[in-house]
Structure 1
């Protein structure tokens, strides 16, 4: 079997994308922060067949204390694996299929989205990119959300599977949608990990 390309190619590409467009993305963040709450919905959610609800608690670095006022930004490809870009009324570019949530006093968040496609023309795992911003700190990327039913997981090495499992969504069907409960532990030193298959 051929080796897959770097598992986190899309994650790295996304980080590069964000770096190249940091000013625009930050402006969108500044513009929308006042309207944020603990629940948000990715555009086109209602029309998608594989609806997903991701919910959980964001904890401080101690893993015990709920983190209030933390902003979680997610963005993803559409079901065909393409990042759809849009412009807002001020002409700023952004990824269409994205959402912002801000944790409540109990650290809770909920995102309604849909199953993304694997990144166009690659053999990467399906994933949802994540950026987090703690109050008073600079935003930073987390490893993407992955999916426990992704058929490409079988091609990963045990080491890669272990790292993917750290942010893997375990989906259960409920009320006509896929539901995943995923808590997040904050760490200001967190960075996106690069994994080369076969290592």
Structure 2
């Protein structure tokens, strides 16, 4: 148990400090000259983005998952429009399926993007990921976000309330996990989870047209 708790504490510290540190990327990240190194959030075709997207192989997965919510500006009340939210995740066994595109860039296969409308709403159709057996990995779906006029940055991952590693966390660490923790409920043939997002202060200084 001691060997397990220490990695969890370290992981908690790193994860919950992501928003504060933000690790903002350079504007050069959007350059086509830097295509293979730029953040995967840019690897989409603008014309196809809307506020709903589906992860590849969704239809074949046993534990289908719908994640829905609203992205708000930092006041927690005003819907944030034209915001891109990108997710990628491991499969049911906790492994990441990697592929290469036509330009030989490697990417995680199970991924999706949305772009909010004026109401700030978003929906992903995906599946509940797994974690590698006997590892210290949490079940999680990674998130990155891009506000107009700002570099992209990483949000804390979506975590799951039934993850067996959660009880091993300290109370303070568990409280931070709750901020991005999904609580899926079975509705018909899929699980549904709601998660609103409030943009950090550094991301909201944007002049919308």
User: What are the equivalent positions in structure 2 for 1:4-83 lying under 5 Å apart?
Assistant: 4=5, 5-6=7-8, 8=11, 23-24=35-36, 25-26=38-39, 29=42, 31-83=44-96
Could you tell me which residue of structure 1 aligns to residue 104 of structure 2? 91
Partner Cα separation in structure 2 for residue 30 and residue 50 of structure 1: 27
TM-score of the two chains, using structure 2 as the length reference: 0.79
Asked if structure 2 preserves the Cα contact closer than 8 Å seen for 1:103 and 1:109, the reply is yes
Asked if structure 2 preserves the Cα contact closer than 8 Å seen for 1:77 and 1:119, the reply is no
Could you tell me which residue of structure 2 aligns to residue 112 of structure 1? 125
Partner Cα separation in structure 2 for residue 28 and residue 170 of structure 1: 25
Q: 1:90 to 1:166 in 2, by over 3 A?
A: same
Q: 1:115 to 1:27 in 2, by over 3 A?
A: closer
Cα offset, 1:39, TM superposition? 0.5
Considering only aligned residues, what root-mean-square deviation do their CA atoms show, in Å?
Answer: 2.3
Cα offset, 1:30, TM superposition? 5.1
Larger Rg: 2
* 1:99-148 Cα deviation digits (max 9, x unpaired): 11111110010001111112576212200000000011000000000011
Structure 1 counterpart of 2:198, from 179, 182, 185: 185
Partner Cα separation in structure 2 for residue 115 and residue 128 of structure 1: 9
Partner Cα separation in structure 1 for residue 41 and residue 182 of structure 2: 27
* 1:21-51 Cα deviation digits (max 9, x unpaired): x743447715423321111111111111111
Asked if structure 2 preserves the Cα contact closer than 8 Å seen for 1:85 and 1:94, the reply is yes
Q: What residue ranges of structure 1 are gaps of 5+ in the alignment? A: 191-199
Could you tell me which residue of structure 2 aligns to residue 150 of structure 1? 163
Structure 1 counterpart of 2:172, from 152, 159, 167: 159
TM-score of the two chains, using structure 1 as the length reference: 0.83
